[in-house]
Amino acid sequence: MLTFDPSLLIVATGGTLRQTARMLDLDPANLCRPLSSRQADSYATRLGYHPEEIWGAAWNDQDE
């Protein structure tokens, strides 16, 4: 199973871990462990991004 680094999501928002978690209405602990592709897709789109904008080629490589 492919996972995604949540720190890239935090960097994309320009905020801190806590600020990003607040934007997503999550406990910050949820952004301290790898994300599944479902979580990565959901969190990125909830913040107004396409997952590829956050995880680049790794997002496209998940189908291989």
Q: Is residue 60 part of a domain?
A: no
Contact of 35 with 45, CB cutoff 8 Å: no
8, 56 contact by CB (below 8 A): no
Interatomic CA distance for residues 50 and 18, integer angstroms: 21
The whole model's pTM is what?
0.89
- Number of domains comprising the chain: 1
pLDDT at position 16: 97
Mean pLDDT estimate for the chain: 92
Residue 21: inside a domain: yes
**62 located within any domain:** no
Q: Which residues of the chain have pLDDT under 50?
A: none
The reported pLDDT for the residue numbered 51 is: 94
pLDDT of residue 63: 60
49 is in which domain, residue-wise? 6-55
